[in-house]
Amino acid sequence: MTKNFLLLIILSLALFFSFPLKAEKKSEKTKKETVPIIITSEQAIWDNKKEITTLTEKVVVIRGADHFLANKMEIWGNFNDLKKIIGYEDIKILNQEEQVNLTGSYFEYDKEKDYALVTGNPVLISEKDKLEITSQKMEKYFKDYLFIAIGKVKVKKEDTRATGEKLHFFEKEKKAILTGSPQLFQEKNTFSGEKIVFYLNEDKVEVYGKVKSTVYLEEKTKK
């Protein structure tokens, strides 16, 4: 269970990092090795005065194995000085190589705040690992190496499930904290408390506050 949490978060952060690109001066050699960004849509409006590019209908952004789809996208600033990216309706961010996709109805990346947000009941799926996480909102604070899922959080992996109201993942510490009446279900067994902590490097789980567990032991059949 804990290893799957780690894989899930790492892949989701990789997807977030794929599109908000920092513009830096590069050598000619580096430029040749840069993966191109391909953008298509039914309509594009460039407002140089406001420094806003608006793409509408069937918007697709491709960079290597990463794809970003939306019904509408606004790019604030320019590729030399990117300020903000906003995606509206039918958001889908996917990585074909890792078979991971994230869906929602609103996406925002703010470069100044170094912050990414997905709302509209986002769903993050790792097909390769048969893993799914859902919530009402997902956030990423890049400077703090912090990922947060908020509101009716559900994590599912085969016969194991976890639920709560808020999930914090601390990337540097490789630690995930589930709060808000958290519960852990594995087959028929259940564990609950006020806080469940997953230590990913140690493959360890701790439950704090009003801990309750229901465990079904298999009875050995007498011969």
**pLDDT tens digits, one per residue of 1-22:** 333 333 343 344 434 443 333 3
Ranges of each domain in the chain: 2-20+36-214
**pLDDT tens digits, one per residue of 22-73:** 333 444 444 445 778 788 999 999 898 899 999 999 999 888 888 999 999 9
* Residues 206, 189: Cα–Cα separation, whole Å: 16
Question: Cβ contacts of residue 117 below 8 Å, gap of 6+?
Answer: 106, 107, 108, 109, 137, 138, 139, 140
Check: CATH 1.20.120.1690 for 2-20+36-214? no
Total length of the chain: 223
